[in-house]
Amino acid sequence: MVGLRSLAQLEILCKQLYETTDTTTRLQAEKALVEFTNSPDCLSKCQLLLERGSSSYSQLLAATCLSKLVSRTSNPLPLEQRIDIRNYVLNYLATRPKLAAFVTQALIQLYARITKLGWFDCQKEDYVFRNVIVDVTRFLQDSVENCIIGVTILSQLTNEINQADSTHPLTKHRKIASSFRDSSLFDIFTLSCNLLKQASGKNLNLNDESQHGLLMQLLKLAHNCLNFDFIGTSTDESSDDLCTVQIPTSWRSVQIASVRRSLFNNAERAKFLSHLVDGVKRILENPQSLSDPNNYHEFCRLLARLKSNYQLGELVKVENYPEHWEFAPNSVHYLLSLWQRLAASVPYVKATEPHMLETYTPEVTKAYITSRLESVHIILRDGLEDPLDDAGLVQQQLDQLSTIGRCEYEKTCALLVQLFDQSAQSYQELLQSTNSSTIDIAVQEGRLTWLVYIIGAVIGGRVSFASTDEQDAMDGELVCRVLQLMNLTDSRLAQAGNEKLELAMLSFFEQFRKIYIGDQVQKSSKLYRRLSEVLGLNDETMVLSVFIGKIITNLKYWGQCEPITSKTLQLLNDLSIGYPSFYSDHFSFLGVNNQANLSDMRCRTTFYTALGRLLMVDLGEDEDQFEQFMLPLTAAFEAVAQMFSTNTFNEQEAKRTLVGLVRDLRGIAFAFNAKTSFMMLFDWIYPSYMPILQRAIELWYHVPACTTPVLKLMAELVHNRSQRLQFDVSSPNGILLFRETSKMMTTYGNRILTLGEVPKDQVYALKLKGISICFSMLKAVLSGNYVNFGVFRLYGDDALDNALQTFIKLLLSIPHSDLLDYPKLSQSYYSLLEVLTQDHMNFIASLEPHVVMYILSSISEGLTALDTMVCTGCCSSLDHIVTYLFKQLSRSTKKRVAPMAQESDRFLHIMQQHPEMIQQYFADLRNSIVNSQPPEKQQAMHLCFENLMEGIERNLLTKNRDRFTQNLSVFRREVNDSMKNSTYGVNSNDMMS
């Protein structure tokens, strides 16, 4: 009765979790079910839920809990229990065909997880979890519903084994995936193909839900098999680049478009390609099925894959090649990827057969351009979604068109000139007319937007082909037209402007900059001759002046528009890096004080970063010019200081002013990488304005919008980038800067810990992000090599101790899981820990046992992280800790300096009291691996371990470390060789990983 009553309670909780709309009730139910998952009798209760549960939700809970139980790495379930669960799940699925779909899916997921994690488990020399086809045979021989379950099991298993997870080592995942690929995947794929053939030979009624579902699952299974990561490269399926399927040689009978070229010899490849192209032709001749958008999309991907896997020289040799492509121009704007690859291959074709692209590519270009222009009126008339709103899609298409358009460029240029002149003339006439409709103006602006984008793209495509003087002159014709249009639109900005057209202009400028500005361009280029004839722009310097003018205009009129401002500042940023000496001459024209009407804070940071770079070129050691440049920021600081000095200041205004100010300063600080310029900035901000930053942290510690910019500024100021923080021997500035850092971190840390419990969905924004920046800030100042930290203890200054103690308080407030769940927090914490264990082990040694335990546990968990930076930091930290311990143990019989003795003795005492912290696994590991080998190999394996320590002395000298590293490499190679083809050593091999 107790069990049944408990079962009823679980079902109520499940119902509350999945059905209730009351947040409090749902959270209480969630908390109770988490406790249930962790309870000792969870396994038995899950079986009760499956056997006697009356709701689908209770069955779902049972399946989910069982998945967690079989997945846990600590205290795993015994092999016999996992076998029983696997058999029970299969029987449950086979005998209960009316389960809810989500329950069936959860149970199949459970089966897949058990099978994957137990792939190398043996029982009486039998790999008990590998008979997957046998497991599903009874499903495939039953009803359509059960057949669907069987196919779904195989499909989910293939997908599960293909996906790595963060809870198990990547090496173990690859071993399982490789074994599955070699032993089972081809059989599963063959089964799916045979079932598809059987289905195609029958009169299927796809209106029948079960028959339709079976066919869909079979196709999904085949797709998952082909999508398998055969060689461990994890290619991005969202991209069509380098997407060949790396199927093993034993799969040669499989007919797939994207197979690796090396699978066939030349004759086989030509025959195979001919079959594929012939199939494409049949589809094009009977295109009814292409009316379905999904079919059409996949068909276009097939065509694109053909070119990515076969050379144009091979394609033109296919029988009736000229026939195959005459169908495509009807829809070429969807097939730009194919045509781009074909056009890019023209210079490399050695085949004698004609490639016909001189005929087709101009038609492709024309079809794309005209279709874009014709769409403008329809989109405006019907209120449809505008493709120009999707910047990523537009850029992708333009990148593809840039290559196609340069093929037979004379025709492309003539078309663009004709269309541009028509639209520009119509646009000018509409602007001059007093009764023009806004819709007509919008249509011409939309057409001109597309044309400016396309002109920029084809100019950028110049890098794809060897250009001629005549083609440079054609580029000049196009550039002149765009610049004339820009003069017209800029003259109207005081009254009206078109955001999309401005973005197109900026895209054009970026392409023009890449191709025609810089040392790689001949100054006698016919492009510049044409610009001189038409616009009076005689050389690159005059064109750069046009860039400056456009940047100033955009900052003046579009400061409230983030997309335009961001693109404009990106252009300014690129120019400040590439051509700083020219732009420093034009520095005053940028209108630092009045023209930069920037509303977006990130844009302001970028703006001041670029200006800082330009200023560095022109500044030298001129403090007067620096002070002049900083006048607006000086005034802003003074304004905030004045606000803080009154009791009734406008808090919102103060926050807004301060945030904008510190973002500007951070941009300047980021750009000032030279010692001279950075010292002027340091002397300007310290000590005059540092109290304002400290006051802001005190007041608004709970407002991330304020604290994040301030903390990031401080982290930037203490970052010794390019050795810019170099103080004179007699200067106290390094210590003073550290004091300010310590004060800010301590102020923020102590206050942020008063927030109490923060909701999980807000914990990063409200707390962890600020803590992460504090960790980065402390790491930067500790590793900057401009502070002698020994003076703090010597003179009784508690700044260092305060900062380190605050670090510990903040660290202990963070669960281990959060340290690894948030990548930026992970990187900042582990990089800081590496510095602390390297240079401040005396502090680590002085910590309480539970704190040391926390740190060591975080290192242990970080060693298995997927982030290489985190793993490397953990290895270094562990090395520093163990090195410290070794040195202290070595000195334990020697006379030590009194102040150090207490701390080191304490650390050694902690290690002795808690041996589980750093356990010596080596002897156990050695015995386990040796004993797992066949008897005839045990002596050789034992010798491997003996050789590992050969020549190693009991010291930490670099020479000794290098010798051990060499021994370890030899050891790894010998152990791997010894364990090859050994069925006994599978589990121990996992231990080695």
Q: What is the pLDDT of residues 789-832, one digit of tens each?
A: 999 989 999 999 999 999 999 999 998 889 988 999 999 999 99
Is the pLDDT confidence value at 743 over 90?
A: yes
| pLDDT band of 592, cuts 50, 70, 90 | very low
Kind and range of the H or E element at 127? strand 126-127
To the nearest whole number, what is the mean pLDDT of the chain? 80
Q: Looking at 76-80, 218-222, 309-313, 685-689, which range is the least confident one?
A: 309-313
Query: How high is the pLDDT of residue 311?
Result: 43
Mean pLDDT of 544-570: 86
Residue pair 547/509 in contact (Cβ under 8 Å)? The answer is: yes
Does the pTM of the predicted model rise above 0.85?
no
- DSSP three-state, residue 367: helix
Mean pLDDT of 248-264: 56
What one-character DSSP code corresponds to residue 123? E
pLDDT 10s digits, 637-683: 898 888 888 877 788 888 988 988 898 888 888 888 888 889 989 99
Query: How high is the pLDDT of residue 318?
Result: 41
Q: Distance between CA atoms of 260 and 977, rounded to whole angstroms?
A: 30
Q: Pick from 329, 204, 332, 319: which is nearest to 273 by CA?
A: 319
- DSSP three-state, residue 814: coil
Count of residues in the chain:
993
User: What are 123's strand-pairing partners?
Assistant: 126
Is the pLDDT confidence value at 956 over 80?
A: yes
Q: What's the CA angle centered on 500, arms 494 and 504, to 5 degrees? A: 105
Is the pLDDT confidence value at 255 over 50?
A: no
pLDDT 10s digits, 28-56: 887 887 777 777 778 887 887 888 777 78
Q: Pick from 330, 347, 329, 478: which is nearest to 403 by CA?
A: 347
| pLDDT band of 60, cuts 50, 70, 90 | confident
pLDDT 10s digits, 133-185: 888 888 888 788 888 899 999 999 998 888 877 667 777 888 888 888 888 88
pLDDT 10s digits, 478-514: 999 999 999 999 999 988 899 999 999 999 999 998 8
Q: Distance between CA atoms of 914 and 908, rounded to whole angstroms?
A: 10
Q: Pick from 799, 675, 786: which is nearest to 729 by CA?
A: 786
Question: What would the two tokens of residue 337 be?
Answer: 């990827």
Q: Phi/psi of residue 169, each to 5°?
A: -60, 145
Query: How high is the pLDDT of residue 602?
Result: 62
Q: Distance between CA atoms of 185 and 137, rounded to whole angstroms?
A: 16
| pLDDT band of 715, cuts 50, 70, 90 | very high
Residue pair 103/63 in contact (Cβ under 8 Å)? The answer is: yes
- DSSP three-state, residue 271: helix
**% of the chain exceeding 70 in pLDDT:** 78
Q: What's the CA angle centered on 825, arms 822 and 828, to 5 degrees? A: 150
Q: Distance between CA atoms of 784 and 776, rounded to whole angstroms?
A: 12
Is the pLDDT confidence value at 128 over 70?
A: yes
Q: Distance between CA atoms of 947 and 963, rounded to whole angstroms?
A: 12
pLDDT 10s digits, 424-471: 999 999 999 988 899 999 999 999 999 999 999 999 988 766 678 888
- DSSP three-state, residue 558: coil
Q: Pick from 322, 335, 313, 219: which is nearest to 269 by CA?
A: 313
Q: Distance between CA atoms of 113 and 108, rounded to whole angstroms?
A: 9
Mean pLDDT of 753-759: 88
Query: How high is the pLDDT of residue 905?
Result: 65
Q: Pick from 390, 387, 528, 512: which is nearest to 461 by CA?
A: 512
Query: How high is the pLDDT of residue 763?
Result: 92
Q: Pick from 558, 547, 553, 556: which is nearest to 583 by CA?
A: 547
Residue identified by tokens 């008063």 is 754
Question: What would the two tokens of residue 382 be?
Answer: 């019907």
- Is the pLDDT higher at 594 or at 167? 167
Q: What's the CA angle centered on 217, arms 213 and 220, to 5 degrees? A: 140
Q: Pick from 213, 158, 210: which is nearest to 180 by CA?
A: 158
Question: What's the burial of 168, exposed, middle or buried (CB within 10 Å: 0-12/13-18/19+)?
Answer: middle
Q: Distance between CA atoms of 815 and 806, rounded to whole angstroms?
A: 16
Residue pair 633/595 in contact (Cβ under 8 Å)? The answer is: no
Q: Distance between CA atoms of 414 and 723, rounded to whole angstroms?
A: 55
Is the pLDDT confidence value at 987 over 80?
A: no
Mean pLDDT of 283-293: 67
Single-letter amino acid, residue 656: R
3-state secondary structure 711-738: HHHHHHHCCCHHHCCCCCCCCCHHHHHH
- Is the pLDDT higher at 106 or at 247? 106
